[in-house]
Structure 1
Amino acid sequence: MKARGGRWIEHWDPEDETFWRETGERTARRNLFFSVLSEHIGFSVWTMWSVLVLFMGPEYGLTPADKFLLTSVVTLVGAVVRVPYTFAVAVFGGRNWTIVSAGLLLVPTVAAFAVMEPGTSFSTFLLAGLLAGIGGGNFASSMTNINAFFPLRRKGWALGLNAGGGNIGVPVIQLVALAIIGAGGGPRVLLGIYVPLVLVAAVLAACFMDNLTSVRNDTGAAKDAARDAHTWIMSVLYIGTFGSFIGYSFAFGQVLQSQFGRSPLQAAYLTFIGPLLGSLVRPLGGRLADRYGGARITLWNFVAMAAATAVLVTASASGSLALFVAVFVVLFVLSGLGNGSAFKMIPGIFRNKALGKGLEGEAAVAYGRRLSGASMGLIGAVGALGGVAVNLAFRQSFLSSGSGTGAFVAFLAFYAVCLAVTWAVYLRRPVVRTPDGTAGPERVRAGLSRAEV
């Protein structure tokens, strides 16, 4: 199976059940495991400023608006770098780029360690936050890489597990921070813990991961994905799911401090719960999508997110901390479910477009893999921009009214848009087949099947 040095795999055909059973599954699972580890550390480094701002008391001279702006900058960079990180897999190979991207995490970690003290200027903190944003790119390269390893019938589970394992880096760094704060330690202790972990992730990727020669640099795929309307439609939906998850992960602790007067320790006791559950449930979202269809699960998930946000508006306006925390945690769980189901939709959408073009067999598989891999980076990048919007919405809401209520009203309206788009584009039109079982003209026009997407 390996044809040349540097851990390159020449032949890879996961859709062949014999190949998958005899050699493919074992190799794919090994690469998935170490991909999750690297992505996990990347998420922790990306979101470390959601924790560091809790350490930054009055002696740092930052207002709540300053802190929301700081976390917005971190999220913005994490979103933007996802695009080049996606195509880096095809240029360098999945294993090779995992080694490089893991090693790069040393830069923001050491930089934050150097500047994290009272008296540092706000502009310096912003610069350190910009560097931390590169941790957000690991998700895009990891998802693109793992997408190529697994057959379509297993992508929902594999991509959900890969993303969920990465997402869980958010609550893990928050839990570590809670332990450090509780023990009377400072932020540099937290940062010092992650330096060796970054090195371990890079070394393990070098020892145990593989590159696929079939994943080659294809600028045409990027252009085709960018021109396809479904890339941008799914980007909007992913703003609603992942944008919510990452935005709330950065903002939850700050809202508890600014609106409900919680201390850093009190906020830390609560902030990790939502991201933890939202991360753990993401593979379940992918699994449900594999069984019932990603579009159907995504639709009902947005209905539930809208309902939960409506309750949050009431809790925020009334100042009920218990209700606010409980429903916010539910919203985190729903965002995790939606992450899994939305990403499962992407391979199915492009596989169905291939069938609609008359392609069959390996040609349809290759077309779907080519465009879904390219589109995932764009969708992941735009989705992460939702995290920027979440933090900017909270910043404006606190500047205007001193609470987050206005921001939640805006989120409720956006979730309503997302559920309407999901229904109108992916569930409204049935697929009509001709008597011989093939798709008729209606399929070509719709291009999507609710059962497969």
Structure 2
Amino acid sequence: MNPGFVEDKQRHRITNWDPENTNDWESGGSAIARRNLIWSVIAEHVGFSVWTLWSVMVLFMPTDVYGISAGDKFLIGAVATLTGSLLRFPYTMATTRFGGRRWTMFSAIVLVIPVVATIAILANPGQPLWMYLACAALAGFGGGNFASSMTNINAFYPQRLKGWALGLNAGGGNLGVPAVQLVGLLVIAWAGNRAPYWVCAVYLVLLAVAAVGAALFMDNLDGPGVDMAAMRSAIADRDTWLISLLYIGTFGSFIGFAFAFSQVLSLNFIEAGDTPAQASLHAAQIAFIGPLLGSIARVYGGKLADGIGGSRVTLAVFGGMIVAASILLIGESIAIQAVGFIALFILSGMGNGSVYKIIPSVFDAKSRSLPLDEVGRANYSRAMSGAVIGIAGAVGGLGGVGINMALRQSYMSTGDAAIAVMVFAAFYAIAAAVTWRVYVAVPRKREDAAMVAESAKISL
């Protein structure tokens, strides 16, 4: 049988797309979705690298040369995180308005600006703090790529595969964090901590690859998507904000620690007797491991959630994060601190995948109670899921701002991260309670009630 969708290869445009239609999916739909997923991952990966570029650049900024304190470096990370998070709101609607292919091309090309600006500002040490903050804010545009990429891929895949597809898309994007840190490590080992422009040069090339690949291999989907009406409906929905709270704990932790981990390690190595140059190298040798494992864990968190449910995986994740935070509080050596942070990366990565599985599941279930036909329910679920993906991504990213600001204040007040870690642990406990009450216990009670009612009908 011929598929129901129409693919205009010359214009890179697809109409009548319905991934839930098994015939369409098996008659070429899966190959189209996979091709778009691959290049979405590549573009998002590079975007994440540019977003977190300053987590590496601070290692190239000795205080005696640039006049930037440890507290200033945490602030730089917070500003980049803030910009990237806030931009996720407009980026969520961009693929509906402009098309996934067109927006992916644009979002890659525009990142050339902060990369070039970074080269220029670091080549001239001694600039006022606001210039570094402005440059970090521009790099934050890379954080917006996540929302448009996830909304786009959500539309390409059927409900039964969304956990895996969204987990792979986000996990591949998240790998941009350890990738840029690994590039930074190689540059420091090869050219020392005074040649940051080599890191930027690598990403100028990769941005070109992402933009050209999107132009050649991605498609624009015609049909309902995320618009202002969907955003307004999502904003008014209680689940949007509860899911956003959970995502603050998972993604907020991941991106916040991604910016802060190298700086925390560097401070610890300096306290242990390293020179700033030695501390930068030693921190870079470890810092990429946490984001790397966390990014990989995101894929498996989504896949595990497909099998046993996003809420159950999320509840287990928050329990584990409380334990990992406790390790940070009781461990004083650099090794134990590194283990604690890496455990938080892995668990938050799994939680990122499982929380994003909750989103389409919740709104697919809600669509079943609406007076709509199958097409109407699919459109509702697709639009609402896409809107909540963007909102939760933005609000969750703001958790990364909180991570950096809490660590900044903790170091300025006491010289270590203990107070901040206690705040993190308390938040994880709250998130675990919400997950249990709203997404594990209540749905289970409803299922039990439905089973009792069905049994009663049978006995009658």
Cα offset, 1:24, TM superposition: 0.9
1:253 corresponds to which of 262, 269, 272 = 262
- Quick one: distance in 2 between partners of 1:63 and 1:244? 23
2:424 matched to which residue of 1? Answer: 411
Q: Residues 300-358 of structure 1: CA distance to partner in whole angstroms, max 9, x if unpaired? A: 1100011111111111xxx2111111121111100100000000110000111111335
Equivalent pair of 2:407/2:417 in contact (CA under 8 Å) = yes
SS at match of 1:356: coil
Distance 1:309 1:21 in 2: 46
User: Could you tell me whether the CA contact under 8 Å between 2:225 and 2:382 is conserved in 1?
Assistant: no
Q: Please list every run of 5 or more consecutive structure 1 residues that lacks an aligned counterpart in the other structure.
A: 441-453
Which residue of 2 is the match for residue 451 of structure 1? none
1:376 is matched by which residue type in structure 2? I
CA distance in 2, matches of 1:437, 1:197: 57
Q: Verify the 8 A CA contact 1:93 1:215 in the aligned structure 2.
A: no
Give the counterpart of 1:48 among 38, 42, 53. Answer: 53
| 1:137 aligned residue | 144
For the pair 1:218 / 2:239, whether they are aligned, the reply is no
- Cα deviation, 1:402-447, whole Å, max 9, x if unaligned, reads 0011110000000000000000111112223278969x9xxxxxxx
Determine which of 139, 147, 155 is the counterpart of 1:148: 155
Residue number in structure 1 paired with 2:309: 293
How far apart, CA to CA, are the structure 2 residues paired with 1:121 and 1:31? 42
Tell me, in whole angstroms, the C-alpha distance in 2 between the residues paired with 1:289 and 1:340. Answer: 8
Question: Separation in 2 of the partners of 1:369 and 1:39?
Answer: 21
How far did 1:364 drift?
2.1
1:116 aligns with 2:122: yes
Q: 1:65 to 1:351 in 2, by over 3 A?
A: same
Opposite residue 144 of structure 2, the aligned amino acid is G
Aligned to 1:355: 368
The residue number in structure 2 matching 1:389 is 402
**Alignment of 1:433 onto 2:433:** no
2:337 to 320, 324, 328: 324
Question: TM-score scaled by structure 1?
Answer: 0.94
Q: Which amino acid is the alignment partner of residue 203 of structure 1?
A: V
Pick the aligned partner of 2:323 from 298, 307, 311.
307
Q: Deviations over 1:229-257 (max 9, x none)?
A: 10010000000000000000000011112
Q: Which runs of 5+ in 2 are unaligned?
A: 1-5
Equivalent positions of 1:26-425 (< 5 A) are 26-57=31-62, 58-117=64-123, 118-185=125-192, 186-216=195-225, 218-261=227-270, 263-315=279-331, 319-359=332-372, 361-425=374-438
Conserved? CA contact 1:252–1:271, under 8 Å: yes
Q: Distance in 2 between matches of 1:388 and 1:225?
A: 23
* 3-state secondary structure, aligned to 2:368: helix
Are 1:259 and 1:404, in contact at CA under 8 Å, matched by a contact in 2? no
Structure 1 Cα separation of the partners of residues 227 and 177 of structure 2: 32
Conserved? CA contact 2:121–2:127, under 8 Å:
yes
CA distance in 2, matches of 1:275, 1:236: 21
Count of aligned residue pairs for this structure pair: 436
Retained in 2: the 8 A contact 1:168–1:275? Answer: yes
Cα distance in structure 1, aligned partners of 2:7 and 2:454: 39
Give the whole-Å Cα distance in 2 for the aligned partners of 1:409 and 1:419: 15
Q: TM-score, normalised by structure 2?
A: 0.92
- Cα distance in 2 between the residues matched to 1:288 and 1:180: 37
Q: Residue type matched to 1:115 in 2? A: I
**Higher alpha-carbon deviation: 260-269 or 153-162:** 260-269
Aligned equivalent of 2:3: none
Which amino acid is the alignment partner of residue 266 of structure 1? H
- How far apart in 1 are the matches of 2:229 and 2:97? 14
The SS at the match of 2:32 is: helix
SS of equivalent to 1:428? helix
1:7 corresponds to: 12
Displacement of 1:226 in angstroms is 0.6
1:220–1:120 distance in 2 versus 1, CA, 3 Å: same
- Residue identity over aligned pairs, in percent, reads 50
Contact 2:269 2:283 in 1 (8 A): no
In angstroms, what is the RMSD of aligned CA positions? 1.6
Corresponding letter in the other structure for 2:300: L
Deviations 1:73-100 (A, max 9, x none): 0100000001101111111001110000
